Amino acid sequence: MIDVRNVSKYFEDTLAVDQVSFQIKEGAVFGLIGINGSGKSSLLRLMSGIYRADEGVILVDDQQVFDHVPARKKIFYISDEQYFFENATLVDMRNYYRMIYEDFDSGRYDRMVRDVELDPSKKIHTYSKGMRKQLSMIAGVCAGTKYMLCDETFDGLDPVMRQMVKNLLSYEMTHREFTPVIASHNMRELEDICDHVGLLYKGGMLLSRDVEDMKLHIHKAQCVFREEGDAARAFEGLDLVSRECRGSLYTVTVRGHREQLISAITAQNPLFYEILPLSLEEIFISETEVAGYDIKKIIG
């Protein structure tokens, strides 16, 4: 488990991370969401031991991560801006990673770079951003670390490669002890794969919640009633987040139990109703409104 306790980080007069506390449980995909400048990259560097926290502490499996090599060896960090040694080749980086990570799988690395058709005769600095991102992901899974911290994982990847990355993360979690942390400014990229999501804003953690838990307590429905009064009676007493009517079609988002919503609608004998899945963005809109924030402004 990664345990972040009251962590703050300053860069001269700028407070980049502000009293952040949360936990990342093993075997779950943790999504870290926030607009550019919200503190995601700084927080990932703190968690990986690159930066020292000015306040608070970060524990990786009960060990402080900064200046503690055994804890840092459990983490593979992938930055948004890919960095490789100048004039390095695929072989150069393989040999380097093999020295750093004792469980690095060189054979798998060679197979995977062939599979994605990265040219071994070219210097890595000549690769596109997407190709360098692919290489970082391959190196990350081949390192065999328990945790992988990814900054803007899907940025620069085409749709096929994005799906490949998702499948790769799923495979790793199925076959070994592996916990990925994925930072992004785009909720839609994360909603298919995240088990837990944290929302950063101006360096602070607004919300850290289990996705399934959130889904259990908010629901969306579309329904058509015989009379307008039936709609009023159906929604009376429900905790409405939103209500929209287009012609005879009502669309509502409601906090509470699914069975309560269905019971209220069916009691009025509707002509039609269905319960719809909510996007991660819709769920966060509801949760942050409860906390007094307007997520539409926060995530732009």
The yes-or-no verdict on residue 294 having pLDDT over 80 is: no
Q: Are 79 and 155 in contact (CB under 8 A)?
A: no
Only one residue has tokens 């905790």, namely: 239
The 10s digit of each residue's pLDDT in 210-242 is: 888 888 888 999 999 999 899 999 999 899 888
Q: What is the pLDDT of residue 221?
A: 95
Helix extents (H) in the chain = 40-47, 69-72, 90-100, 106-115, 129-142, 159-175, 187-190, 211-216, 228-235, 258-266, 280-290, 295-298
Q: HEC profile for 207-237?
A: EEEEHHHHHHCEEEEEEECCCHHHHHHHHCC
Least confident of 116-125, 157-166, 176-185: 157-166
Q: What is the pLDDT of residue 293?
A: 59
CA distance 130 to 218: 37
A 10 A CB-CB count for 244 gives: 10
Q: Are 28 and 50 in contact (CB under 8 A)?
A: no
The 10s digit of each residue's pLDDT in 33-77 is: 887 888 999 999 999 999 999 999 999 999 999 988 999 999 999
Q: What is the mean pLDDT of the chain?
A: 89
Q: What is the pLDDT of residue 54?
A: 95
Q: What would the mean pLDDT of 113-117 be, rounded to a whole number?
A: 92
Q: What is the pLDDT of residue 288?
A: 66
The yes-or-no verdict on residue 300 having pLDDT over 70 is: no
The 10s digit of each residue's pLDDT in 266-286 is: 999 999 999 998 888 787 777
Between CA 168 and CA 243, with CA 281 as vertex, the angle to 5 degrees is: 145
| Helix or strand holding residue 19 (H, E) | strand 14-24
Q: What is the pLDDT of residue 181?
A: 96
**In the sheet that 204-210 helps form, which strands lie side by side, from edge to edge?**
75-78, 147-151, 179-184, 30-33, 196-201, 204-210
CA distance 287 to 209: 9
Q: What is the pLDDT of residue 278?
A: 85
CA distance 106 to 277: 42
